[in-house]
Amino acid sequence: MINANSNKNNNLSKNLKKIIFFISSCVFVVSASLLVKQLVIDPFVFEKNMDKIKKVKKESQMCDFKSLLEINPDIRGWIKIDGTPIDYPVLQSGNDEPIYYLDRDYQKQKDKNGSIFINSYSELLDKDTKNIVMHGHNMGSGKMFASILKYADVNFFREHSIINFDTIYEPAKWKVFAIIKTNSKEEHGPIFDYYSPNFNSSSEFFNLIYDIKLRSLINVSIDFSKDDKILSMSTCSPRSELEGFRTAVFARKIRDGEDEYMDPSKISVNNNPLMPEGWYRSKNKKMPTFPSFSESLNNGSIDWISECVW
């Protein structure tokens, strides 16, 4: 009986080892397959799809988006920043599904990279729309809006101070004037609203620019008029920052007849940008106070408002 039980236990042990080995092999194969898909297949498909639409755009005349609109009528333009991977179509869905392109490509197919897309309430044809708000993922691969985080480096900022963003209605270039870090969770303090597309007055518009400049990691000497438009590009901050943090880069549309040159000497590091409350708590620092826009305007410390007609 002892020998029989021993043999039985040995057989059970062998079978158990075979089962464990089989399960481990299956897990390994599945994991390897998923890894290959994530690291090889998905990037290959992404690049092939992007090459396809870039070819269509290249073959079209400047600002002739007809061929692109035939691919997808939700295409609203094209954004390109020289010297970076950012060279993408820009899409916009309706109010019923405002973040439709968060996880879909320009062909409306599911894609973890998503698309660069405009907020549904930024109406490009509305003359009152002064702030066009764009969103894009910060992909670890460097794709989509990952590159805009590099504007925190003053040298990168100086070398990439012009953005090309053509809409289906007009070509345009934009001067970058700020990069900020902000929170999306109330636990880190009041949420900075830079999403508003319209303003009731010039004062409201200038107030937003003032608040952006207070928060900017980089100081830029650039003027603004009541007729200007700005472009706001928003993405997720790195995980090393506080949870739910966002990085946003802002640019002003270059006016008709305006020189697009930006003097590098007028682009410098801001040693005391306004950060979210949660950031100061995490650093055990006291949050600084700054005068309001109206106070700064009244005391003459604002020198970037221009009433020039271009």
For 51-71, the pLDDT digits (tens) are: 989 888 877 755 579 999 999
pLDDT at 185 over 50: yes
pLDDT at 102 over 60: yes
Tell me what pLDDT residue 299 has: 93
pLDDT at 310 over 50: no
Q: How confident is the model at residue 47 (pLDDT cuts 50, 70, 90)?
A: confident
pTM of the model: 0.86
SS3 string of the chain? CHHHHHHHHHHHHHHHHHHHHHHHHHHHHHHHHHHHHHHHHHHHHHHHHHHHHHHHHHHCCCCCCHHHHHHCCCEEEEEECCCCCCEEEEECCCCCCCCHHHCECCCCCECCCCCEEECCCCCCCCCCCCEEEEECCECCCCCEHHHHHHHHCHHHHHHCCEEEEEECCCCCEEEEEEEEEEECCHHHCCCCCCCCCCCCCHHHHHHHHHHHHHHCCEEECCCECCCCCEEEEEEECCCCCCCCEEEEEEEEECCCCCCCCCCHHHEEECCCCCCCHHHHHHCCCCCCCCCCHHHHHHCCCCCCECCCCC
Tell me what pLDDT residue 36 has: 53
Tell me what pLDDT residue 226 has: 94
Please state the CATH superfamily assignment of the domain spanning residues 66-298 in this structure. Sortase (2.40.260.10)
Tell me what pLDDT residue 2 has: 52
